[in-house]
Structure 1
Amino acid sequence: MNYLFLDTLKSFIHYWANNYAEQMEKNNQSSVTEFVFLAFANISRWNVLLFMAFLVSYLIVLVENVALLIIIGFDHRLHTPMYFFLWNMSFIETCYTFVIIPRFMISLLTKNNAISLTGCATQMFFYIGLGDAEVFLVVVMAYDRYVAVSNPLRYKTIMSEVVCLKFLVAILVVSFLLSLQQVILVFHLPYCGSNEIDHFFCDVAQILILAAPCVDMFYVYWIVFNIYGFISFSVPIVLILISYIYIIVAILKIRNAEGRRKAFSSCSSHLTVVVLTYSCLIFIYLRPKSTYRWDKNKVFFVIYTFTSAVLNPLIYTLRNKAVKSAFRKAIFRRTA
């Protein structure tokens, strides 16, 4: 099945790649060599203030996530499956913000909003890959919570180091394969008109809009990328919902109230992250078109990017006694 899918995809890419030059010649089009971010051009007079706001927010993200990485990495009590996934989530979020924010901050100061096709493709590859990896990691963490609640005595056996590593490798391979396929399809499209991206990074939807006037069967590409969006958005949330249905069933089977409270408490941090992540994504991408304005959506995307990266470490830290204890221990050692 997998080989059939890959062969079909390869044939599709090969077909469009072979027709790329023909289509460019047919429409007498010149290829775009770079893209220009419009970002927040309408408020460019506030670039310095925007830079300071982004800098402060980005430093908060770095400090929080790096602190969590160090605490989990050096405290052997936290070397369990749950914290293994939490460590990788913090690392992915750190890389995710690094792919997008520093480039935009530099453009705010230098007013150089241009990016080469290679640079744009690279940013898109890591942006999509890391974003998908984070979402898929949340799915695996839901399964981890299910195992912890339903099989507490066999938890460490089922979620062994080898199993956790296999999950992580599978997440990264699938995420970056999906990302690579999308990048290849996007950058085999002809770009014949405007090269201005109405965003502050190489967003797939905004780049596809630039290709729309240059492609005869543009709707085919739009359908393909909607399928990718469905896989990245809908499939994970369905798997998470299934996991929590089983978790609720397992909790209800616990006889004493204190046991049920502890079981639910062990899932509360993860559930909070799921609600935060998907409520933001739904608000950005799935709200009614009548309320949709792209200039406001850019602001919402900035808020989502920083909110997720800032709040996720706090949620797991403030609601987790083990992490708080390790954090206090690290501070005490530092000040002693």
Structure 2
Amino acid sequence: MYENNQTIFTEVILLGFQSSKETSIVLFIFLLIVYILTLFGNLLIITLVYYNKTLHIPMYFFLIQLSISDILLTTDIAPNLLHMLLHKSGKISFTGCIFQQYIFDVMECTECLLLTVMSYDRYLAICNPLHYTSIMNEVFCIKLIICTWLLSIGAMMISSITIAYLDFCGPIIIDHFFCDVSPVLKLSCSYTFLAKVAQFEILLYSVPFILLPFITIIISYSYIIFSILKIPSNTGKKKAFSTCSSHLTVVCIFYVTLIVIYAFPASGQSLTIRKLVSLIYTVGTPLMNPIIYSLRNRDIKIAFAKLRSGLVHF
């Protein structure tokens, strides 16, 4: 809430997708199906890993965390987006807008760190297999996950609190379908030290949560590729690459969409294109992750077949 010239702003208007009624209905049905499938797919991954003892290894423990992150991310965005499609635009409280942006930022940072941890896991499994079990033990895995979540939650909380204390000029209208940090900052009419701090925090956090994880993933996969190429048999190469192909696919999709949205200048993209790309990584990616791991992972396929067989016999 902000008070300026006796005017109090308690709501933020999200314009969403400005389209015809027919198009909005089609998009609503499509996104509703995507949301339901996303929840089902990620919950299925969690269930398969939890109940199948053969999947109780670090790689799938991290995969559960990724599924939890995807569920929280899509639930943060999709319900309000569906509401907007039915009503042409959406109103959200100022506090709700900041909270939505906070949850989104936490999930994005968490996913960056999780993908980095998973790449390190694959690096150890392929490049240093003799010491893999001693390094990637249960205690170490739990510590990695706790650090991942706490770092994301703590850092983004500081950033969101800073943004919440900025001055905002009305009317507070965002031409987007969710409260992303960039359009929220554009609404601020603060030209104070606090506004500069908020912008600096975003740049500062991009180093440990985006840049360093990306560099770490590239280095990890460089070593992985070199190690795979040294394997004499083609069968061995295929087996080694199959253990990390799903993760590599997810990494590529995640970072490509992230770079398109945040690395390229907004002036060079139309708002519609930016919204569509944003739709991919806020709603599409959480659905693609379980699909990719289901289609390209032999262990997940076997676990699913066992679960389906058990349900049939039951």
Structure 1-normalised TM-score?
0.85
Give the partner amino acid of 2:310: R
Give the partner amino acid of 2:263: L
Q: Separation in 2 of the partners of 1:288 and 1:115?
A: 27
3-state SS of paired residue (2:9): coil
**What is the deviation of 1:246?**
2.3
Q: 1:109 to 1:290 in 2, by over 3 A?
A: closer
**What is the deviation of 1:240?**
0.6
**What is the deviation of 1:164?**
0.7
**What is the deviation of 1:295?**
2.4
| 1:38-62 CA-partner distances (Å, limit 9, x unpaired) | 1113545643332212111111111
Counterpart of 1:49? 26
**What is the deviation of 1:289?**
5.2
- Does 2:250 match 1:235? no
> In 1, are the aligned partners of 2:55 and 2:299 still within 8 Å (CA)?
yes
- Does 2:42 match 1:58? no
What is the root-mean-square deviation of aligned Cα atoms in Å? 2.3
Aligned mate of 1:261, from 238, 246, 252: 238
Q: 1:48 to 1:258 in 2, by over 3 A?
A: closer
Figure out how many residues of one structure are paired with residues of the other and give that number: 312
Structure 1: state its 5+ residue gaps: 1-20
Counterpart of 1:142? 119
> In 1, are the aligned partners of 2:102 and 2:160 still within 8 Å (CA)?
yes
Q: Separation in 1 of the partners of 2:284 and 2:227?
A: 32
**What is the deviation of 1:262?**
2.1
Q: Separation in 2 of the partners of 1:205 and 1:31?
A: 22
Structure 2-normalised TM-score?
0.91
Q: Separation in 2 of the partners of 1:29 and 1:185?
A: 22
Alignment of structure 1 residues 115-194 onto 2, 5 Å: 115-194=92-171
Q: Separation in 2 of the partners of 1:248 and 1:45?
A: 49
- Does 2:178 match 1:201? yes
Counterpart of 1:274? 251
Q: Separation in 2 of the partners of 1:107 and 1:291?
A: 26
Counterpart of 2:292? 315
> In 2, are the aligned partners of 1:38 and 1:197 still within 8 Å (CA)?
yes
Alignment of structure 1 residues 10-159 onto 2, 5 Å: 28=5, 30-43=7-20, 46-110=23-87, 113-159=90-136
> In 1, are the aligned partners of 2:24 and 2:85 still within 8 Å (CA)?
yes
| 1:222-269 CA-partner distances (Å, limit 9, x unpaired) | 343233234432121011112112223333444444333322221211
Between the aligned residues of both structures, percent identity stands at: 37
**What is the deviation of 1:292?**
0.8
- Does 2:305 match 1:328? yes
| 1:139-169 CA-partner distances (Å, limit 9, x unpaired) | 0000000110122233222111111100000
Give the partner amino acid of 2:42: N
- Return the index of the structure with the highest Cα Rg: 1
3-state SS of paired residue (2:176): coil
Give the partner amino acid of 2:250: V
> In 2, are the aligned partners of 1:72 and 1:87 still within 8 Å (CA)?
yes
> In 2, are the aligned partners of 1:135 and 1:236 still within 8 Å (CA)?
yes
